[in-house]
């Protein structure tokens, strides 16, 4: 009944949110004669805070309209190259004179949409032909589309690389590094023609036995049956995926926010204060962040439970026990795909050493095909967004891709 209770609460809040949205222009537009009063600015700010605090379930726009290639600003066009019920292979197409290396960015399926990697995409576009796994909100996928678990996630990586063609490159962020390494191992073993030329694994839980974080320890506090009983719910019938069992995105969001409750409360207080004081530049920074953060996507129950059990409880990949469609995943089969692993010094989600473990698993790779990089002073999100990503980590990623192309 968890999802039904959430939906009922959202329905009850709908009239209040609608009234706030309708009233906002009255407090802001000089035509109504109220905007000059301090109380009106406070009321308008309160309406905007209420709007920003709303949990949404649709992917935010990418809003990547152009990118600078050399000295030229080049327009970007979003192109749906290949579509499955669960994901779109999205290409950010640009017209450039010299072909650039094709890169598939594998986005996490972790309660938010792929747009969480907007800065990753924008930075990579300078020198690469960028594609991404644009995962759909599972609550909108009909039951007739079938199950979606760790095997199906891995299938999508292999399928999308096949669509992109030979000599493409992979960049995987956080959670999907396990599926990414599995996909490349299987493709290498099968001598798949689209086996990628390079694979970059960033801040991912390859081996959670190493320096376990609070997130890792939490996964070990309960048996897998507890997660199935307490965190899995069914999508209400009103949605396209009605009846599908999911780990709701709003549950994941609540967990994230509770970990830093005071920080989020203060952020909304400051947002209100900035709006009242007409400090719109400062308010815009907060608005941009929370519009993305409050947009949630449900996870398939199969995928969530399998990830918790196999990755965070059983450590199946580093122990040599991970299976893909009845086949044991053997990273030592990777011989021709260059490997880069990237970690953040202050990452409290995937600690230093957890992603590095992929280097040992790919034991047949020649030393010159392996690179490891630790970025000082960054936490988890700083590995793939922000100034240190743009100025320090990205040049390393670009270098490995260039050498492997």
pLDDT at 29: 55
> pLDDT category, 23, cuts 50, 70, 90?
low
Check: CB of residue 342 under 8 Å from CB of residue 397: yes
Mean per-residue pLDDT over the chain, rounded: 91
Q: Is residue 33 included in any domain, yes or no?
A: yes
Q: Is 13's pLDDT higher than 80?
A: no
pLDDT at 20: 65
Q: Is residue 228 included in any domain, yes or no?
A: no
Q: Is residue 257 included in any domain, yes or no?
A: yes
Q: Is residue 232 included in any domain, yes or no?
A: no
Number of domains in the chain: 2
DSSP run (H or E) holding 179:
helix 177-189
Domain ranges, residue 304: 66-217+299-404
Q: Is residue 134 included in any domain, yes or no?
A: yes
Check: CB of residue 110 under 8 Å from CB of residue 299: yes
> pLDDT category, 38, cuts 50, 70, 90?
low
Cβ neighbors of 148 (< 8 A, separation 6 or more) are 86, 138, 141, 300, 302, 303
Q: Is 291's pLDDT higher than 90?
A: no
CA dist 138 and 248 (Å) reads: 9
Q: Do 153 and 272 reside in the same domain of the chain? A: no
Q: Which two tokens stand for residue 152?
A: 């199906």
- The domain boundary, picked from 228, 261, 293, lies at 293
Q: Is residue 233 included in any domain, yes or no?
A: no
């Amino acid at each position: 009944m968890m999802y039904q209770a959430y939906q009922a609460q959202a329905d009850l809040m709908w009239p209040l949110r609608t009234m706030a949205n309708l009233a906002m222009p009255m407090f802001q537009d000089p035509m109504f004669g109220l905007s000059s009063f301090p109380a009106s600015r406070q009321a308008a700010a309160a309406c905007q805070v209420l709007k920003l605090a709303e949990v949404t379930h649709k992917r935010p726009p990418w809003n990547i309209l152009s990118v600078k290639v050399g000295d030229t600003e080049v327009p970007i066009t979003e192109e749906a190259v290949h579509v499955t019920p669960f994901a779109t292979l999205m290409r950010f197409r640009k017209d450039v004179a010299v072909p650039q290396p094709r890169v598939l960015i594998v986005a996490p399926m972790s309660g938010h949409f792929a747009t969480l990697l907007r800065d990753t995409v924008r930075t990579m576009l300078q020198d690469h032909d960028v594609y991404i796994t644009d995962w759909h909100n599972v609550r909108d996928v009909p039951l007739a589309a079938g199950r979606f678990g760790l095997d199906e996630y891995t299938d999508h990586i292999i399928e999308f690389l096949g669509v992109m063609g030979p000599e493409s490159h992979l960049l995987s962020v956080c959670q999907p590094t396990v599926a990414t390494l599995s996909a490349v191992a299987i493709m290498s073993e099968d001598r798949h023609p689209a086996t990628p030329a390079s694979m970059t694994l960033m801040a991912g839980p390859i081996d959670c036995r190493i320096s376990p974080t609070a997130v890792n320890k939490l996964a070990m506090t309960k048996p897998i049956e507890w997660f199935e009983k307490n965190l899995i719910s069914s999508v209400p019938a009103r949605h396209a995926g009605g009846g599908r069992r999911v780990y709701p995105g709003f549950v994941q969001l609540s967990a994230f926010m509770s970990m830093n409750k005071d920080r989020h409360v203060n952020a909304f207080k400051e947002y209100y204060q900035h709006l009242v004081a007409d400090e719109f530049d400062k308010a815009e920074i907060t608005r941009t962040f929370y519009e993305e953060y409050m947009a949630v996507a449900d996870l398939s129950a199969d995928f969530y439970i399998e990830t918790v059990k196999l990755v965070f409880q059983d450590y199946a990949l580093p122990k040599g026990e991970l299976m893909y469609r009845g086949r044991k995943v053997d990273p030592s089969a990777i011989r021709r795909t260059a490997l880069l692993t990237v970690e953040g010094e202050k990452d409290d989600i995937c600690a230093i050493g957890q992603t590095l473990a992929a280097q040992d698993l790919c034991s047949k790779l020649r030393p010159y095909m392996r690179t490891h990089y630790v970025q000082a002073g960054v936490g988890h999100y700083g590995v793939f967004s922000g100034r240190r990503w743009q100025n320090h980590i990205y040049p390393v990623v670009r270098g490995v891709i260039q050498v492997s192309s």
